[in-house]
Structure 1
Amino acid sequence: MSTPEQLHIVTSDTISEGRKRAGKALIWGSATVLVAVALAQFGQTMGWWTIGFANWRPTLYAYCLWATAFCWAQVLIRGEQGKRVLFVLPAALFVISLTVFPLLFGLLIAFSNWNLSNPDGRQFNGLANVIQMWNDPFYWNALLNMVWYTLAIIIEYAIAFGLALILNSEIRARKFFRVAFLLPLMLSPVAVSWMIGKSMLEARFGPLARLGRWLGWDNPSFFGSPEVAKATIMIMDAWTFIPFMMIMLLAGLQAIPKELTEASRVDGATGWKSFWEIIFPLMLPVSITAILIRIIFKLKLADIVINVTSGGPGGATDTVTSFIFREYRDRSNVGYGTMLAMVYLVIIIVAMTFLMKSAARWTRPQN
C-alpha cells in the first residue's frame, strides 16, 4: 500500500540566494519610490517647488505599492513562513496607514498658520504656534483644571468601591440595585449635560435651584462661581462614570473565594481588618486597571463642559479638549488648535506610560 505524498514545505534552506536578492530589491525599490514621492509632495506643500500634485493621493498610492511589494517580498525571502506572515501583515500595514499618515498630516498643520477665515490659506510659520501656546494662560489653566479633574478620580474610586462592596453583600433586591446603579452609564454624557446641567440645575426654573431657594440659598447658581461650577462638573461626570468603576470592582470582588473571608472571621479578624489585609490587596490589580481606564476617559472630558458651561465662568471649568474645540469652532484657528492637540497627546502618552509602569511595579509580586 503506497503512502500518500506528503506536503512539500519550503524552508529557508531551499530558497535560492537570487530569490532572496530579488525580494530585498523589491522592498528597497518600492521604499525608494515611496520616499521620493513623499519628499516631492512635501516640497510642493512647503512651496519649494511645483510638480503638479493636487493632493496627497500620489503618496497614498506609493504607500500601497510599497505595502504590496513588502508583502510579496516576504514570500520571496522567507518562503512558507512568509505566507504565514501574510495572515497578519496586511492588516498591520493598514492600521499603520490609518495612524501614521494622519499623525504626519497633523504635525504639518501644527507648524502652520491656518485660519479658516484667512483667504491666504495655510502658511508655514515654524515655531510661532509653540510660542503662542507657551504664552497662552488659558491653555495652562485648562491643563491645571485637568489635574484637579483627574485627582477627583480618587474620590470616585472610593465611592465605587463602597458601592461594589454593598452590592456584593447579601442585601435585599441586590439584582435591582445593580441594574439601577448602572443606569447613568447607559446615558450619553451629552444627554446627562442637558438633562441635569441645562434642566435640573438651571438657575431660575430648575428643580434643584428651587430646592436651594426653599432651603435658604439666596442665589442658587450652580455655575456662577468658579469653585461651585468646577465642583458641579466633577459631580456630573462622576455620576456618569462611577458605575463603570463599580461594575469592574464588583466583578473583582465576586472572583475572590469566599473561603478567604470566612477563614479571616474564624481567626477573629474584624470587618475593617479583613478588608484592609485581605480584600484590598487582592483587589489591587483590578483597582489599578479600573483607575487607569477611568483616567483615560477623564482626559477626554469635553462634552459635559461644552454643553453646560462652554468652559466658563472665566475658564474655571475648561478642559484641554473643550478649549481645543473652541479654538476650532469659535476662532477657526486650525493650525494653533492642532498644535495644542499634539502637545496634549504627548503629555497623555508620557503620563500614561509613567502610570502604567508604576502600576506594574506596585502589582509585581514581592519575592
Structure 2
Amino acid sequence: MSEGEFLHVVTRDDISDGQRTFGRTIVRGSLAILVVTVILQWLDQQGTIALGFETWRPSLYAFVLWAICLCWAQVLIHGERGKRTLFVLPAALFVVALVVFPLIFSVGIALSDWNLASPNGRQFNGVDNIVQMWSDPFYWNAMLNMVWYTLAIVVEYAIAFGLALMLNSNIRARKFFRVAFLLPLMLSPVAVSWMIGKSMLENRFGPVARLLRNLGWEQPSFFGTPEIARATIMIMDAWTYIPFMMIMILAGLQAIPKELHEAAEVDGAPAWRRFWEITFPLMLPVSITAVLIRIIFKLKLADIIINVTAGGPGGATDSVTSFIFREYRDRSNVGYGTMLAMVYLVVIVIAMTILMKVADRWMKPRY
C-alpha cells in the first residue's frame, strides 16, 4: 500500500522538554495572575485597598487569559492527545464561567446583609439570613404550596394521557383537535395570566363571574379565599402545560407497533386489558420523562402568580420563586432573597436526584 493511500497517519508526538516546560509555565503564570487579580478585586470591594475596580471585568479578563493559556498548554504538553482535549475543555471552561463563578458569588451575597434601600450597603452577617429564613412562615408556606402545585401534576398527567389516547384514535377532525389542543402551549404564561386571570375571571366585570352570578352565586370570587385561589392558579397553569405532556405521550403512542394491539384483540383481550398490559407499560419511559420535565417547569412557577394574585391572599398562592421575586422587588432585600434562592436550589437538586433515581429503577426492564 502506497503512502498516498493512507487517509490519516498518526505519528508519535515529538514534543521537546522545552515545549513542555513552556506549556507548564504559561499555565502557572496565567493562574497566578488570575488568583492575584481576584484577591485584589475582593480587597477593593471590601474597601481594604483602593484600586478603582468598579466592576469584576479585570477578573473576567484574567480568567479568559488563563483559559486560553490552559488550552494552548494542552497541545504543547500532550501533543495529539491535547488536541483531542480541546474538543471538551472550552465547553467545560464556559460552564465554569457562567455557572460556577456566579454560584460562588451568590454564596457570598447570601451570607451578607444587603438591602438596596439601606444606606449602609452590603455587610457580611454570616448565618443570620439562614436563621431569619428558618423562622419565616411565609417562605415555608410557599414551600408547602410548591408541594401542592407539584402533586397536581398527577391529575395533569391523567388528563394529558386521556387526550393523547383520544387524539391517537380514529376520530373525526383529528388533525384539527391536535392543533387546537396545542394552542395554550403556544401562549406565554404572562398572556394566559392576563387573558384568563385578569380578564375572564375578574370578579366584577369578567364574563365567567357574570355567568356565575346569573346561575345564583351572588359574589363569585376566584382569588378571595386561599383554597379557591390556589386551585385557580393550578387550573391556569395546568391549562397552559397539559398540551406539552399530551404531545409527548401522543408521540410515544404513535411509536407503539399496531401489531401488538391487533394480536391482543384477536386473542380476545378487552380494551382496558390491552391498555394496562400493553399500552401503559410501553409508555412508561415516555410518561416518566414527560412528568420529570413537567416537574422542572412547575418548580419555576412564578409568572402567573405574580401577574394574577401577587402571592395573595396573604401569601396563600405564593410559590417559592414568586416569593423570592417579591423579596427582591418589593423589599429590595438582595442578601436574604439570595439565601432563599440558594436553599431552594439545594432542595431542587436533592429532589430531582431522588426522582431520577426512582424513575431509573422503574424504567429498567423486569425479567
Q: How many Å separate the matches in 2 of 1:241 and 1:309?
A: 19
Partner of 2:247: 247
Partner of 1:11: 12
Q: How far 1:170 sits from its partner (Å)?
A: 0.5
Q: How far 1:109 sits from its partner (Å)?
A: 1.2
Partner of 2:267: 267
Equivalent runs, 1:254-293 vs 2, <5 Å: 254-293=254-293
The SS at the match of 2:343 is helix
Which stretch of structure 1 is more off in the superposition, 65-74 or 103-112?
103-112
Q: Is the 8 A contact 1:189 1:303 kept in 2?
A: yes
Q: How far 1:96 sits from its partner (Å)?
A: 2.1
Partner of 2:338: 338
Which stretch of structure 1 is more off in the superposition, 85-94 or 224-233?
85-94
Partner of 2:174: 174
Partner of 2:184: 184
The SS at the match of 1:29 is helix
Partner of 2:139: 139
Q: How far 1:48 sits from its partner (Å)?
A: 4.7
Partner of 2:306: 306
Q: How far 1:84 sits from its partner (Å)?
A: 3.3
Read off the aligned partner of 2:86 and give its amino acid letter: L
Q: 1:3 to 1:154 in 2, by over 3 A?
A: closer
Q: Is the 8 A contact 1:10 1:79 kept in 2?
A: no
Read off the aligned partner of 1:311 and give its amino acid letter: G
Q: How far 1:47 sits from its partner (Å)?
A: 4.4
Q: How far 1:355 sits from its partner (Å)?
A: 0.8
Q: How many Å separate the matches in 2 of 1:3 and 1:146?
A: 67
Q: How many Å separate the matches in 2 of 1:28 and 1:153?
A: 51
Read off the aligned partner of 1:155 and give its amino acid letter: V
Q: Is the 8 A contact 1:11 1:79 kept in 2?
A: no
Read off the aligned partner of 1:20 and give its amino acid letter: R
Q: 1:242 to 1:235 in 2, by over 3 A?
A: same
Which stretch of structure 1 is more off in the superposition, 24-33 or 167-176?
24-33
Q: How far 1:68 sits from its partner (Å)?
A: 0.9
Q: How many Å separate the matches in 2 of 1:17 and 1:9?
A: 21
Q: 1:199 to 1:77 in 2, by over 3 A?
A: same
Q: How many Å separate the matches in 1 of 2:317 and 2:343?
A: 20
Q: How many Å separate the matches in 2 of 1:11 and 1:310?
A: 66
Which stretch of structure 1 is more off in the superposition, 338-347 or 82-91?
82-91
Q: How far 1:91 sits from its partner (Å)?
A: 3.5
Which stretch of structure 1 is more off in the superposition, 87-96 or 226-235?
87-96
Q: CA-to-partner distance for each residue in 1:128-160, whole Å, 9 max, x for gaps?
A: 111111111000000000000000000000000
Q: How far 1:206 sits from its partner (Å)?
A: 0.9
Equivalent runs, 1:100-115 vs 2, <5 Å: 100-115=100-115
RMSD: 1.9
- Identity over the aligned pairs, expressed in percent? 72
Partner of 1:209: 209
Q: How far 1:115 sits from its partner (Å)?
A: 1.0
Partner of 1:35: 35
Read off the aligned partner of 1:186 and give its amino acid letter: M
Q: How many Å separate the matches in 2 of 1:73 and 1:11?
A: 18
Q: How far 1:25 sits from its partner (Å)?
A: 3.2
Q: How many Å separate the matches in 1 of 2:141 and 2:270?
A: 46
Q: How many Å separate the matches in 1 of 2:346 and 2:66?
A: 29
Q: Tell me, yes or no, if structure 1 residue 155 matches structure 2 residue 160.
A: no
The SS at the match of 1:98 is helix
Q: How many Å separate the matches in 1 of 2:3 and 2:129?
A: 74
Which stretch of structure 1 is more off in the superposition, 296-305 or 84-93?
84-93
Unaligned runs of 5+ residues in structure 2 are none
Q: How many Å separate the matches in 2 of 1:315 and 1:10?
A: 68
Q: How many Å separate the matches in 2 of 1:150 and 1:281?
A: 23
Read off the aligned partner of 2:296 and give its amino acid letter: I
Q: How far 1:38 sits from its partner (Å)?
A: 1.8
